[in-house]
Copies of this chain bind each other. A is one copy, B any other.
């Protein structure tokens, strides 16, 4: 058994991104390291630097892909929620919770200021497409007449969804059945309440 690394690579760059999602999902952004990603793939810790200039460029590529994946899933879930625009909008809260539980890369990764300077892999475009989609869904509810109203509604919606994820990951929910699925449902319901409050003039 030659312990020489037997790994063949067709596309190490893509594998590094995928392994990064796995590490983020399991250990979170704080525990992310290029060395761990390399070890997870069985390659040397030097290999990633042939494909990404530094740690932030790898994370930037992950963030860009996360923005695209998240937008795709939100679009699909909103469409599946039916004709009610409020329900379509609220559904994306659940999409967000489930996506971060599975992939580990949420708004903290996608909109990380340290990655803004990097601009790798279409990060700026991915960010904008994601926000445009959500803004359109917020506007379509009809509960935010002006552009500013839609911004406020969208902000509260994202804050609630991310708040659930952040407190869930932080171990805040120790009782009340804290599965990712139940948290996703609670986030969706929180946005429904925000919509009811907006409708009631709150």
A149-166 to B contact mask, C-beta < 8 Å, 1/0: 001100110111111101
Instruction: Give the Cβ gap from A134 to chain B, nearest Cβ, in Å.
Output: 13
State whether the Cβ of A10 lies closer than 8 Å to any Cβ in chain B.
Answer: no
State whether the Cβ of A199 lies closer than 8 Å to any Cβ in chain B.
Answer: yes
State whether the Cβ of A170 lies closer than 8 Å to any Cβ in chain B.
Answer: yes
State whether the Cβ of A73 lies closer than 8 Å to any Cβ in chain B.
Answer: no
Copies in the complex: 2
A113 CB contacts on chain B under 8 angstroms = 170-171
- Please tell me which one of the listed residues B112, B151, B166, B192 contacts residue A163 in the complex, with CB atoms under 8 A apart: B166
Instruction: Give the Cβ gap from A112 to chain B, nearest Cβ, in Å.
Output: 7
A152 CB contacts on chain B under 8 angstroms = 186
Q: Which residue of B lies closest to A111 (CB)?
A: B172
**Knowing A30-B30, A162-B167 touch, does A196 contact B190 (C-beta < 8 A)?**
no
Instruction: Give the Cβ gap from A106 to chain B, nearest Cβ, in Å.
Output: 9
